[in-house]
Amino acid sequence: MEMRRKSKGVVERKIRGYKSALKGLDFERKVMEYLSKKGYTIKSSRKRTKAYGEIDIIAFKEGWFFNPDEYLVVECKDKDRVTLNDFVKFVAKLRRYASRKRDADVYGLFAYRGKLDPQIKEYIQTLDRALRDSITIKKFR
């Protein structure tokens, strides 16, 4: 009997995990559609590397004349409450990515649904101006 309860709990957790992953993928697809309409080409999604960890979306816009190429590092959060820790991790990924793409402009988009922790806006003010200006926070419905 006890074995059954444990296995039932494991199965339920796995089902919740799959549902959450599908919800996240659907949200990322919506963000990719938005970026495509803005003229970006999606270079990769859910890219996992040792250097950056997992980056949800990397978008690219080709430069012209004297404007350099532009990369957009996107973090997608589709959950009820987006925490300060979620945002701090995103900033760290963005910094690491930008440090390796010196020949291009690198920007960040923090796309979310749900409620944004008010501490995030306070944290942004502590960032250096160049980094702060390169980050956009956008709520999707």
**Could you give the C-alpha distances from 43 to 3, 32, 50, 64, in angstroms and in order?**
46, 10, 18, 18
The whole-angstrom separation of Cα 111 and Cα 123 is 17
Distance CA 111, CA 117 (A): 14
| Domain locations along the chain | 2-139
pTM: predicted TM-score of the whole model, two decimal places: 0.82
Q: For 75-107, what is each residue's pLDDT tens digit?
A: 999 999 999 999 999 999 999 999 988 778 999
Whether the CA torsion 85, 37, 69, 134 is positive or negative: it is: negative
Contact status, residue 27 vs residue 56, Cβ threshold 8 Å: no
Amino acid, single-letter form, for residue 82:
V
- Cα–Cα distances in Å, from 29 out to 11, 111, 112? 27, 12, 13
Structure tokens at 2: 């006890």
Amino acid 70 reads: E
Domain 2-139 sits in CATH at 3.40.1350.10
38-78 per-position pLDDT tens digit: 999 998 777 677 766 788 999 999 877 777 789 999 999 99
